[in-house]
Amino acid sequence: MYYSSGNFEAFARPRKPEGVDDKSAYFVDSGLVGLVATEMVKWLANRFIF
């Protein structure tokens, strides 16, 4: 990540939407593709959204 003076975007974090902790999502798939997709979504959610 690039840091410089006045780089607000580097430190800004969006707020969680209301009730997001009570929701869940499921991938209906079989095998390795579904597992990889689920883990990728978890990783992206932890890295970029929250």
Predicted confidence at residue 46, as pLDDT, reads 78
Between the CA of residue 18 and those of 1, 9, 23, 43, 46, what are the distances in Å? 29, 23, 10, 21, 17
Predicted confidence at residue 10, as pLDDT, reads 63
Predicted confidence at residue 29, as pLDDT, reads 63
> What would the pLDDT profile of 5-49 be if each residue is shown by its tens digit?
666 666 677 777 788 788 877 766 667 877 888 888 888 887 775
